[in-house]
């Protein structure tokens, strides 16, 4: 197990460095935006990874509700946390890109709004976990995750309709993608997926250790109480 972790870490490091090289050097300069567009190589993969993690969070929460499996709960927690981090990266890199290209930091465009609302839902999930005094935090969190997942299609339709009623700035590009760009994007996505896997794994191990410590502490105070 320990070996697997090291191997994963090495692969991730190699992939990330090579992906960075393709994104900054190999991929050609974009016609209208120039070099600014290169932030897309971080922006798009982080979005895909974040949404993937939120999806895993939903699946794990569902499994927890049905089976009451602690591992599923820890997986849900880890995916939500790491997902929020990647979602934040996505929102911030998007903002940095929008400033020179659109001339604004933020617009209530459909995709931006949708991402922000998702981010809010998962932050509230993490807040619940942090503030819960219940001995069944996992259960409450799983229920909230289910509600969040049910909310996503409604959010999607409402914002879609909300935004198509109003004029909104056109998302960049259209047109064809240079094969080098597609390659760099794919490579960055793979690298980010590995990074997410690595971070989730680390966080999972941390969570296991933390829970063991909690249990040991509870046991100890119980023993002292009995004395």
Interface residue with another protein, options 127, 171, 209, 213 (CB under 8 A): 127
CB-based contacts of 42, cutoff 8 Å, min separation 6: 23, 89, 93, 188, 192
Cβ proximity to another protein, 78 vs 145, nearer residue: 145
144 is a contact residue toward another protein (CB under 8 A): yes
Q: Quick one: 165 exposed, middle or buried, by C-beta within 10 A (0-12, 13-18, 19+)?
A: exposed
In angstroms, what is the C-alpha Rg of the chain?
21
62 binds another protein (CB under 8 A): no
Which of 9-17, 75-83, 149-157, 217-225 is the region at the interface with another protein (rule: CB under 8 A)? 149-157
The answer to whether 24 contacts another protein (rule: CB under 8 A) is no
The span of 16-24, 89-97, 130-138, 192-200 binding another protein (CB under 8 A) equals 130-138
Q: Which is nearer to another protein, 32 or 136 (CB)?
A: 136
The DSSP call for residue 135 is T
Q: What residue has token string 């050609």?
A: 28
Binding residues among 87-126 for another protein as defined by CB under 8 A? 117, 120-121, 123-124
Stretch that binds another protein, among 29-37, 131-139, 195-203, 206-214 (CB under 8 A): 131-139
CA–CA separation, 160 and 221 (whole Å)? 54
Burial of 207 (0-12, 13-18, 19+ CB in 10 A): middle
């Amino acid at each position: 197990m320990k070996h697997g972790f090291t191997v994963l870490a090495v692969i991730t490091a190699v992939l990330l460095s090579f992906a960075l090289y393709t994104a900054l050097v190999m991929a050609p300069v974009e016609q209208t935006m120039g070099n600014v567009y290169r932030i897309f190589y971080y922006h798009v993969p982080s979005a895909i990874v974040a949404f993937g993690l939120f999806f895993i969070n939903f699946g794990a929460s569902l499994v927890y509700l049905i089976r009451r499996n602690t591992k599923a709960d820890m997986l849900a927690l880890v995916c939500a946390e790491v997902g929020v981090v990647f979602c934040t990266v996505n929102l911030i890199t998007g903002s940095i890109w929008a400033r020179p290209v659109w001339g604004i930091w933020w617009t209530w465009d459909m995709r931006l709004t949708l991402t922000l609302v998702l981010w809010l839902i998962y932050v509230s999930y993490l807040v619940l976990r942090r503030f819960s005094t219940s001995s069944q935090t996992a259960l409450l969190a799983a229920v909230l995750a289910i509600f969040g997942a049910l909310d996503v299609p409604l959010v999607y339709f409402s914002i879609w309709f909300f935004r198509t009623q109003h004029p909104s700035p056109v998302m960049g590009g259209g047109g064809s993608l240079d094969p080098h760009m597609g390659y760099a994007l794919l490579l960055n996505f793979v690298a980010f997926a590995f990074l997410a896997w690595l971070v989730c794994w680390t966080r999972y191990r941390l969570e296991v250790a933390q829970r063991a410590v909690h249990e040991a502490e509870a046991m100890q105070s119980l023993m002292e109480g009995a004395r």
